[in-house]
């Protein structure tokens, strides 16, 4: 059933790739159009992938109360062999669980993952655990936690073979997308592969045979564990070894210039040399990507990553919490319940946190940002690395957001849909609102659906932290669907943005199906892809971009209340543009109504009837309960007929 959709997506992607060849397109408009098209095709591909694995592997099917699974650096029981899976395609590592269950030994092993394969392992069996995102790869390997690593594809370190072999950890590469220069042992007997890896004759193998991987990985892990029991959670064998490593530093600063964050490793080392105090090295861990670039540039070959991790070990270990297992799609019954409040604006918005946070400081920020919206009864949806980062940060009572807020698609709830490919269910929820709540037909009708979402569904995508190519494509796919996306400071590296010009009043208009007229509107949303620098800016921008032309008075009042309150709380003042979203006094936040009417009169020259507390003159347009906006001419013509 899925083949047809997948073939369409593949064909479109190849066609667009062709147009990037020299001698084809020339206008940026056509490139942008194709970027949107290919990212939409990517969403189709993601949906195909996730539906296939949900069905074939029996993942949770739209279940809001899935299990909570341990997440973070400190999850490993050091008395058990550890099998670590890394990548984004669980097909190859899933048989490990099957083999252990068949042999009745699942409780004797730890199976934990990095990146989206981790999510999907937990969706397969909630006995699996999650180490963390890409930045945790070196943390986990250098700490000697895995007894074997099984890699598949995407977001895997390019030096994985080297990183594992230096720690004596055998590597099994499984996907032909990432063979890693390892010998293909598909035809070998299981015993021979195990022997070659355990003896060290081979540091790794390419084994694209899932059933064999299922048997080889536990057997290798068991043998390696026997001889390496004591190395887990040790970045250095002893404190003397750590001290000797720090003593080698000459403060040449080569590492500082190479570090993407220019972390002052030299200062931390000098302070530790003089005083023995590791605190100035420890604080670096919170901002360290664990990329290892500093080590490549160090003339003294100091294991800088190990020094930093060891210095902050207790905090790193304690950053361990729980993630709610990815639930997959949103149910139709949930959409029936929330469709109207979202479209009318009573549920102020849907915040979809998607992407890759790569250092601990940013993990704390995203939890703060999302909790602000959860408390205000927005719906929060998440997936991929953002979803596992959230599972590591606990409050004073030791609870993560997943333990504090329910997993339904409803106001004040947080939904983990699953891995990166599960993002298609977030787009799917927006599409279902147009289809189930508003009865807009789906087949061959993308423009109308996207138009409906752009004008009515207050959903905003959010990608905090370093932003991968995949997240960039996902964001552009959301843009194509009429969903704006806010990215953190690292999101600017793609040099792309869709930022409107709200001051050009003549550019902001829609067709109103009810009146049959072109109607000038407030610019909502005024941007489709915008970068912010701080978490405060992110919070205010997210609230602002949830405003839609179709909001009812009550909906607009709720959205403006949050926008204004958040701006006052985080920016210390009213936002510059709040007044352009006011259509009548009924849109104004109740508890600030008088104060805001005064500002409208004094600062914006609006006329106010103070006896009736009504706006007499000023807004661009009034509120009309039957307003039915569209920017698509065909849709306008269709519903006017």
Q: Is 249 in the site for ligand SF4 (CB under 6 A)?
A: yes
CB atoms within 10 A of CB 11: 11
Nearer to ligand SF4, 35 or 255 (CB): 255
Q: State the nearest-atom distance from the C-beta of 165 to ligand SF4, in Å.
A: 19
Q: Minimal distance in Å, beta carbon 304 to ligand SF4?
A: 5
Residue 475 region by backbone torsions, left for phi larger than 0, else alpha for psi between -120 and 50, else beta: alpha
**Is there binding between residue 243 and ligand SF4 (CB under 6 A)?**
no
Nearest distance, CB of residue 161 and ligand SF4, angstroms: 19
Q: How far is the CB of 301 from ligand SF4 (least distance, A)?
A: 8
Residue 178 binding ligand SF4, by CB under 6 A:
no
Q: What minimum distance in Å lies between the beta carbon of 71 and ligand SF4? A: 21
- By CB under 6 A, the count of residues binding ligand SF4 is 28
Q: Identify residues 278-317 at the interface with ligand SF4 (CB under 6 A).
A: 288-294, 297-298, 300, 302, 304-305
Distance CA 600, CA 598 (A): 5
Give the whole-angstrom CA distance, residue 129 versus residue 325: 10
Cis, peptide link before residue 525, omega less than 30° from 0: yes
CB of 289 to ligand SF4, least distance (A): 4
- Please, what is the minimum distance in Å from the beta carbon of residue 573 to ligand SF4? 35
- For the chain, the straight-line distance linking the first and the last C-alpha, in angstroms and rounded, comes to 36
Which residue lies nearer to ligand SF4 by CB, 71 or 135?
Answer: 135
Beta carbons of 491 and 467 less than 8 angstroms apart: yes
Spatial separation of the C-alpha atoms in residues 457 and 265, rounded to whole Å: 47
Strand-pairing partners, residue 324, are: 68
Q: Which is nearer to ligand SF4, 255 or 356 (CB)?
A: 255
Residue 352 touching ligand SF4 (CB under 6 A): no
Which of 48, 84, 143, 265 contacts ligand SF4 by CB under 6 A?
265
50-56: Cβ within 8 A, 24+ apart: 50/328, 50/418, 50/419, 50/421, 50/422, 50/424, 50/425, 51/2, 52/2, 53/90, 53/91, 53/120, 53/123, 53/421, 54/328, 54/329
- Which of residues 66 and 311 has its CB atom nearest to ligand SF4 in the complex? 311
Establish if 205 lies at the interface with ligand SF4 (CB under 6 A). no
Q: In angstroms, give the least distance from the CB of 527 to ligand SF4.
A: 31
Question: 102-141 mask for ligand SF4 (x: CB under 6 A)?
Answer: ----------------------------------------
Largest CA distance in the chain: 90
Choice from 251, 275, 515, 603 touching ligand SF4 (CB under 6 A): 251
- Between 195 and 361, whose beta carbon lies closer to ligand SF4? 361
Q: Tell me the window of 106-114, 244-252, 391-399, 413-421 that interacts with ligand SF4 (CB under 6 A).
A: 244-252
Bridge partners, 529 (sequence order): 485, 498
> Is 630:513 a contact under the CB 8 Å cutoff?
yes
Q: Write the interaction track for ligand SF4 spanning residues 564-593; mark x where CB under 6 A is met and - where it is not.
A: ------------------------------
Closest to ligand SF4 by CB, 67 vs 159, is 159
What does the angle CA 307 – CA 310 – CA 315 come to, to the nearest 5 degrees? Answer: 135
Query: Which residue in 65, 107, 114 sits closest to 86, CA to CA?
Result: 114
Cα distance between residue 387 and residue 527, in whole Å = 25
> Is residue 259 a contact point for ligand SF4 (CB under 6 A)?
yes
Position among 56, 247, 252, 637 found at the interface with ligand SF4 (CB under 6 A): 252
- Beta pairing class for 129-132 and 148-151: unpaired
* Cβ atoms within 10 Å of 503's Cβ, excluding its own: 11
Residues 486-505 close enough to bind ligand SF4 by CB under 6 A: none
**C-beta of 110 vs 245, nearer to ligand SF4:** 245
Q: How far is the CB of 169 from ligand SF4 (least distance, A)?
A: 19
Cα 293 from Cα 300, distance rounded (Å) = 14
CA 224 to chain centre: 34
Contact between 261 and ligand SF4 per CB under 6 A: yes
**Shortest distance in whole angstroms from residue 267 CB to ligand SF4:** 9
Residue 250 binding ligand SF4, by CB under 6 A: yes
Give the whole-angstrom CA distance, residue 542 versus residue 50. Answer: 28
Nearest-angstrom CA–CA distance, 310 and 285: 9
Q: Exposed/middle/buried for 383, CB within 10 Å: 0-12, 13-18, 19+?
A: buried
Among residues 312, 308, 309, 315, the alpha carbon closest in space to that of 269 is found at 308
Work out whether 260 is an interface residue with ligand SF4 (CB under 6 A): yes
559 and 348 in contact (C-beta within 8 Å)?
yes
Query: Which range of residues in 186-194, 263-271, 319-327, 429-437 is near ligand SF4 by CB under 6 A?
Result: 263-271
Nearer CB in complex with ligand SF4: 263/600: 263
Nearer to ligand SF4, 103 or 279 (CB): 279
Question: Which structure tokens are listed for 118?
Answer: 């981790």
**Chain contacts with ligand SF4 (rule: CB under 6 A):** 249-255, 258-261, 263, 265-266, 269, 288-294, 297-298, 300, 302, 304-305
């Amino acid at each position: 059933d899925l083949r047809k959709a997948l073939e369409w997506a593949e064909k479109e992607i190849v066609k667009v790739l062709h147009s990037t060849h020299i001698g084809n397109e020339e206008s940026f408009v056509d490139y942008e159009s194709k970027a949107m098209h290919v990212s939409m095709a990517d969403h189709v591909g993601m949906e195909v992938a996730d539906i296939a694995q949900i069905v074939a592997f029996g993942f949770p099917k739209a279940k809001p109360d899935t299990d909570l699974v341990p997440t973070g650096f400190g999850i490993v029981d050091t008395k058990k062999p550890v099998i670590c899976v890394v990548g984004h395609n669980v097909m190859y590592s899933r048989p490990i669980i099957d083999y252990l269950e068949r042999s009745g030994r699942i409780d004797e092993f730890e199976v934990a993952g990095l990146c989206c394969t981790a999510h999907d392992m937990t969706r397969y069996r909630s006995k699996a655990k999650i180490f963390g995102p890409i930045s945790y790869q070196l943390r986990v390997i250098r700490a000697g936690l895995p007894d074997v690593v099984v890699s598949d594809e995407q977001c895997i370190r390019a030096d994985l073979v080297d990183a594992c072999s230096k720690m004596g950890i055998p590597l099994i590469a499984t996907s032909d997308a990432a063979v890693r220069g390892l010998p293909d042992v598909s035809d070998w007997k299981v015993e021979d592969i195990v022997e070659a890896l355990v003896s060290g004759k081979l540091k790794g193998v390419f084994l694209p045979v899932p059933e064999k991987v299922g048997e080889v990985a536990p057997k290798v892990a068991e043998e390696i564990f026997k001889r390496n029991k004591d190395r887990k959670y040790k970045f250095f064998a002893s404190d003397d070894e750590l001290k000797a490593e720090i003593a080698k530093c000459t403060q040449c600063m080569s590492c500082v210039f190479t570090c993407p964050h220019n972390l002052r490793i030299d200062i931390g080392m000098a302070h530790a040399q003089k005083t023995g105090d590791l605190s100035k090295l420890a604080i670096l861990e919170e901002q360290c990507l664990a990329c290892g670039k500093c080590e490549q540039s160090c003339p003294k070959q100091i294991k800088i990553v190990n020094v930093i991790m060891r210095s902050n070990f207790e905090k790193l270990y304690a950053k361990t919490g729980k993630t709610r297992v990815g639930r997959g799609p949103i149910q139709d019954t949930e959409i029936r319940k929330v469709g109207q409040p979202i479209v009318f604006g009573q549920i102020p918005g849907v915040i979809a946190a998607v992407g890759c946070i790569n250092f601990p400081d940013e993990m704390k920020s995203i939890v703060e940002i999302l909790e602000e919206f959860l408390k205000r009864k927005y719906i929060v949806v998440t997936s991929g690395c953002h979803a596992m980062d959230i599972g590591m940060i606990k409050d004073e009572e030791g609870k993560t957001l997943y333990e504090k807020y329910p997993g339904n698609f409803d106001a004040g709830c947080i939904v983990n849909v699953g891995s990166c490919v599960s993002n298609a269910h977030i787009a799917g929820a927006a599409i279902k609102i147009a289809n189930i709540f508003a009865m807009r037909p789906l087949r061959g009708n993308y423009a109308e659906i996207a138009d409906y979402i752009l004008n009515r569904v207050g959903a905003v995508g959010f990608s905090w932290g370093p932003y991968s190519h995949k997240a960039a494509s996902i964001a552009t796919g959301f843009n194509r669907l009429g969903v704006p996306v806010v990215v953190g400071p690292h999101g600017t590296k793609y040099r792309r943005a869709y930022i409107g010009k709200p001051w050009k009043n003549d550019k902001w208009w829609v067709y109103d199906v009810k009146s049959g007229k072109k109607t000038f509107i407030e610019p909502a949303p005024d941007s489709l892809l915008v970068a912010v620098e701080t978490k405060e800016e992110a919070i205010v921008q997210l609230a602002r971009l949830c405003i839609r032309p179709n909001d009812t008075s009550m909906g607009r009042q709720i959205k403006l209340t949050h926008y204004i309150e958040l701006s006052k709380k985080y920016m210390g003042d009213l936002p510059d543009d709040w007044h352009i979203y006011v259509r009548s006094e009924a849109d104004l936040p109740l508890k600030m109504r008088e104060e805001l009417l005064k500002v409208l009169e004094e600062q914006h020259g609006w006329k106010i009837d103070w006896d009736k507390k009504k706006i007499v003159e000023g807004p661009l347009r009034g509120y009309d309960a039957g307003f039915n906006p569209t920017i698509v001419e065909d849709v306008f013509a269709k519903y006017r007929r």
